[in-house]
Amino acid sequence: MANRSAVVDIYLSGGNGRMFWPCRLQPFDESIPTVRRSSSKYIIDSGFQEAESNTDAPINATLGDFVGENTSRSEPSRDASLSGPEIKELVDAAYERRAGYIIPNDTVNTPNVAMRTAIEETAEKVEAFLDYVDETTFPATVIVPLQPNHALHYAYLAEHYPRQAKRGHFALGGMKNLTPHEQVACIRGFREVAGYEPYVHAFGVGSSRVLIEALREDPALLQSVDFSTPQHHATSGRIAGTSRIPIYVGTAQGTDSASTCAQLMSAELMDIARMLSPTMTSDEDVRVRWDQFEKYHKRLEKNILEANPEFEWELLKERHNSFDQLVASSSDDQIDTELLEAFRDKLSDHLSQETLGGSGPQHTGFGTA
């Protein structure tokens, strides 16, 4: 119910096929039948390969920076077939997996790849894909990938590749390493140029609270997102709720641990879907209850020390000075200094007792707040 009520389609990217989730995305080279069978909507992403060279382009480039011989379609900067899977392989995979959407090869704007190179090469590769397929019979909808600056990429297509610009489906990439606020700014910047008519998918933007709040405020901002965050959390024994801060709970290892991970993933995905369903959750329902975090950590400290008094004391010794520094540099409205001070004092007492009872030299202290 929650996944159908969410304001966007939530695509889980990852390879765990031991749970049903309606929307799944997999790279071409990781696509497996079990994941496809455990979903109703499926995106095949071609994946990407960095370009072999980096050309100079300013970070604040404008469309005028792209005028010149490098924009000529008769002299592409490199053969569009040289990176990523062959177009025929992508097409065959779309038929085999019965994909609803497919994302052609692209070149991602990374520190080693200039913006101009990424935009031009991506346009060449997408054009080659569109030339190859017959969309009147092709089973999947082609989503055009865009590189940052997405608005600039879109404007470049409008001038040099109008067939792509006139399409109704775009995927905004290259935002994985941006802060959540920067991601939302990129998406809004694209909407200011392209408007709200196109279907827009956001690649690997994570499931931050900032993005969730932006989508609750403006549900039309995106039509779909994908992330692997719940799978990363589950495989490391963590889960995140309304705060989107992962809490370690730990899971038993051994045979069939993937099934436990699948259930944790399902629970977290369902919670995200509910948070993205204003008809199911009010702003009060998704409010972060920070007071509960404080109570949780106090109980956790007490329970750990009762269960194992020697719990990671060596590690805590190494961190003692940093605790003092944190307390000294923090104000009451920023952090619970009383809790930290109490913990530091408790640690100091433990170390004093440990030293007085031993044969080694005594410790006089590990710093002051």
- pLDDT tens-place string over residues 326-345: 556 555 555 555 666 666 66
Report residue 36's pLDDT band, with 50, 70 and 90 as the boundaries. Answer: very high
Q: What percent of the chain has pLDDT over 70?
A: 73
Q: State yes or no: pLDDT of 288 exceeds 70.
A: yes
Per residue, the 3-state secondary structure of the chain, as one string, reads CHHHHCCCEEEEECCCCCCCCCEEEEEHHHCCHHHHHCCCEEEEECCECCCCCCCCCCCCCCHHHHCCHHHCCCCCCCCHHHCCCCHHHHHHHHHHHCCCEEECCECCCCCCCCHHHHHHHHHHHHHHHHHHCCCCCCCCEECEEECCCHHHHHHHHHHHCHHHHCCCEEEECCCCCCCHHHHHHHHHHHHHHHCCCCEEEECCCCCCHHHHHHHHHCHHHCCEEEECHHHHHHHCCEECCCCCCCEECCCCCCCCHHHHHHHHHHHHHHHHHHHCCCCCCCCCCCCCCHHHHHHHHHHHHHHHHHHCCCCCHHHHHHHHHHHHHHHHHCCCCCCCHHHHHHHHHHHHHHHHHHHHCCCCCCCCCCCCC
pLDDT, average across residues 225-254: 91
The more confidently predicted of residues 29 and 328 is 29
Q: Rounded to two decimals, what is the model's pTM?
A: 0.75
| Residue 57 backbone phi and psi in degrees, to 5 | -155, 130
Q: Of 27-31, 45-49, 127-131, which range is least confident?
A: 45-49
Structure tokens of 349? 């007492």
- The pLDDT-based confidence of 311 (bands split at 50, 70, 90) is low
Rg (CA), the chain: 25
- The per-residue pLDDT of the chain, averaged, comes to 81
| Alpha carbons 217 and 220: distance in angstroms, whole number | 9
pLDDT digits (tens, 9 = 90+) for 200-209: 999 989 999 9
The stretch 10-39 carries a mean pLDDT of 94
pLDDT at 79 over 90: no
Q: Which amino acid is at 334?
A: Q
Higher pLDDT, 201 or 78: 201
pLDDT at 297: 75
Question: Beta 141-142 vs 101-103: how paired, if at all?
Answer: parallel
